[in-house]
Amino acid sequence: MTKVTLQAIKDDSYVQALIDAGNRHLAAIGYTEHGLRHVGLVSHIATNILIKMEQPERECELAAIAAYLHDIGNAVNRVSHAQTGAILAAGILERHGMAPDEIASVIGAIGNHDELDGNPVNNISAALILADKSDVHRSRVRNSDLATFDIHDRVNYAVKRSFLRVYPKERIALELTIDTEICPVMEYFEIFLARMLLCRKAAEFLQTKFELKINEVKLL
């Protein structure tokens, strides 16, 4: 079997087409950016989490691959996109010659990354959850008319800085700087509480704690 690399997945034209299509489809229904910027950043953060947690090098690369592929299901439909994406990813990874046990780990992570029905089931999935849910930032907002912002636009646009800081064997902290004139902190919790609770589960799976700090104040 081939040791499939992140670069090989990035170079796959079918993968690129799925990411691009998913991003366009979500734009059509008013969602924030879910394209190459998002999956590239999530891939980098997921890898960094496991590196800082001193996990095996191959597991770190599998996390990068899972994160890069995690939203391809949006090309089909937003509903159940995690599970659809896992099925699509299985075929892609098999075509690349990835070992069956590695495919199983990656698709388990992809299929469990959504806060509606996901749970951390392995280290890769825990890292993906934390990385995905930490990408909240004004650069993701596509609507240029502030007067027509919905709550998701407001919350994302209000975040001027987002950083996931890993303190090995101590805690993983999501640090946000929010412009409260655009969005009060309570609105962040209104739409992101389920995501933060899933992050807590993911950190616990990695045998550490999750911390949320907004404007230097610890809230979780």
Residue pair 196/133 in contact (Cβ under 8 Å)? The answer is yes
Residue pair 179/158 in contact (Cβ under 8 Å)? The answer is yes
pLDDT of residue 168: 87
Percent of the chain with pLDDT over 90: 90
pLDDT of residue 79: 97
pLDDT of residue 95: 98
pLDDT of residue 145: 86
Instruction: State pLDDT tens for residues 132-178.
Output: 999 999 999 998 888 888 888 999 999 999 999 999 889 999 999 99
CA distances in angstroms from 211 to 1, 45, 129, 174, 178, listed in the order given: 39, 16, 14, 6, 16
pLDDT of residue 75: 98
pLDDT of residue 143: 87
Taking alpha carbons only, the member of 67, 62, 44, 60 closest to residue 103 is 62
Cα–Cα distance, 214 to 159 (Å, whole number): 10
> Per-residue confidence of the chain (220 residues) as pLDDT tens digits?
789 999 999 999 999 999 999 999 999 998 999 999 999 999 999 999 999 999 999 999 999 999 999 999 999 999 999 999 999 999 999 999 999 999 999 999 999 999 999 999 999 999 999 999 999 999 999 988 888 888 889 999 999 999 999 998 899 999 999 999 999 999 999 889 999 999 999 999 999 999 999 999 998 7
As a CATH number, domain 6-218 is: 1.10.3210.10
> What is the chain's alpha carbon radius of gyration, rounded to the nearest angstrom?
17
